[in-house]
Amino acid sequence: MTVERRRIGDRQVHPVGLGCMNIMHSYGPPADEHEAKALLVRALDIGCDFLDTATIYGLGRSEELIGEALGKRRQEYFLASKCVLGFREKQRTLDGRPEAIKAACEASLKRLRTDVIDLYYLHRPDPKVPVEESAGAMADLIREGKIRFYGLSEMGEDQLRRAHKVHPVAALQSEYSLWVRNPEIAVLEACRELGVAFVAFSPVGRGFLADPPADPSAFHDTDMRKVLFPRFSDENYAGNLPLLETARAVAREAGCSVAQLAIAWAMAKGDHVLPIPGTRSIRHLEENHAAAGVRLTAEQVSQLDAAFAPERAVGPRYSAAGQASVTTEMFDFEKSQHGG
């Protein structure tokens, strides 16, 4: 089946990209580096040409692996990375000042072994720096030829519109899946209106919509799902499992896996939506990539919308600390979960 490519800026990419966070970061110990490099090479070999990484992933190591594994094939893929959320002396930092953004870009270019980053995001809002100032630094980097486009990550409609007035935003990235519907409050439509690509990270619910863990309490101590994502907690997880019943039934009807169903559902929400599932498994990489060929009917999308109505999820999307680091919109019932 011919897959229609999707636009970021003036570029066209395969609609299902590869998120490169969990090869070195977040869901337990880092992947074996030889296996991680093999995954990256395989991604290009099957036509997955949109790779999304960040300074903070593995404290720079994710960017280095891409440079080491794919540096000689740089013209074959669209490369995204992120700044503001970074590190210094192995400690996380948050710095949206223009001079910090420009220094971070120089460091990322070296790690990625490239002279230009296609899409460079403000990874998180810095509450101490107006988004207009950070956007101005991105505009400078575009004029200098060090990045081609810039984007925002985990920000709401207000900051999107404010940044877009300084210099057009090419993409906004946020968590979006059957399990996390917050972009539907405002930013999904705002992106459509402004001609901004919407990049959906964690489209398979951090594994919940792929191979749901039998016992989240057995996660490795370094797995962020243990502390940052309350829906995986002992008191909430069992209440979320019934959500999968409809997904499994619709997946059988559509002739695909539940993970592919979740990715296809995100794609069905607009031709400006690009999901970027992450994985350490070549098998899952190939499965996710093939989801671009899954076509859901309007009835199937509506059935999934209803089964995964936002208020049916048990537990907030983020812990209080995680929610405090973003400016994404919340549903009214979520505000009460966070004391708002």
CATH label of the domain that carries residue 112: 3.20.20.100
Residue 144 domain flag: yes
Residue 333 domain flag: no
Amino acid residing at 189? E
pLDDT at residue 211, as a whole number:
80
Give the mean pLDDT of 260-282.
Answer: 97
Reported as a single tens digit per residue, the pLDDT across 101-137 is 999 999 999 999 999 999 999 999 999 999 999 999 9
Q: Structural domain of residue 67, as residue ranges?
A: 6-222+259-295
Q: Is the pLDDT of residue 1 over 80?
A: no
246 — pLDDT class (breaks 50, 70, 90): very high
Q: Is the pLDDT of residue 210 over 80?
A: yes
Q: Is the pLDDT of residue 26 over 80?
A: no
Q: Is the pLDDT of residue 218 over 90?
A: no
Q: Tally the domains of the chain.
A: 1
Whether the model clears a pTM of 0.75, i.e. scores above it, the answer is: yes
Residue 72 domain flag: yes
50 in helix, strand or coil?
strand
Rg (C-alpha) for the chain, rounded Å, is: 19
Residue 113 domain flag: yes
The answer to whether residues 118 and 80 touch, using CB atoms and an 8 Å cutoff, is yes
Return the structure tokens found at 264: 């296809």
* Distance from C-alpha of 96 to C-alpha of 130, rounded to nearest angstrom: 8
Give the mean pLDDT of 275-293.
Answer: 97
Q: In which residue are the tokens 């049916």 written?
A: 312
Residue 315 Ramachandran class (φ > 0 left, ψ -120 to 50 alpha, else beta): left
Mean pLDDT lowest among 124-128, 186-190, 221-225: 221-225
pLDDT at residue 89, as a whole number:
84
Which residue, 294, 213, 280, is CA-closest to 42?
280
Q: What is the dihedral of CA 169, 151, 330, 178, to 10 degrees?
A: 110
- CA–chain centroid gap for 217, Å, is 24
β-strands 171-175, 147-153 pairing: parallel
170 — pLDDT class (breaks 50, 70, 90): very high
Q: What is the DSSP string of 92-158?
A: EEE---HHHHHHHHHHHHHHHT-S-EEEEEE-S--TTS-HHHHHHHHHHHHHTTSEEEEEEES--HH
Residue 230 domain flag: no
Reported as a single tens digit per residue, the pLDDT across 289-335 is 999 999 999 999 999 999 999 999 999 999 998 999 999 999 998 88
Please enumerate in sequence order all residues whose Cβ is within 8 A of that of 48, keeping only pairs 6 or more positions apart, or say none: 14, 16, 17, 18, 285, 289
Residues known to be catalytic:
57
The answer to whether residues 15 and 4 touch, using CB atoms and an 8 Å cutoff, is yes
Straight-line distance from the first to the last Cα atom of the chain, in angstroms, rounded to the nearest whole number:
47
Stretch (H or E) spanning 171: strand 171-175
Of 223 and 260, the structure prediction assigns the larger pLDDT to 260
Q: Is the pLDDT of residue 164 over 70?
A: yes
Return the structure tokens found at 65: 């692996």
- Dihedrals φ, ψ of 112, to 5°? -80, -10
Q: Is the pLDDT of residue 259 over 80?
A: yes
Residue 229 domain flag: no
Residue 247 domain flag: no
Q: Is the pLDDT of residue 340 over 70?
A: no
Residue 305 domain flag: no
229 in helix, strand or coil?
coil
* Distance from C-alpha of 217 to C-alpha of 219, rounded to nearest angstrom: 6
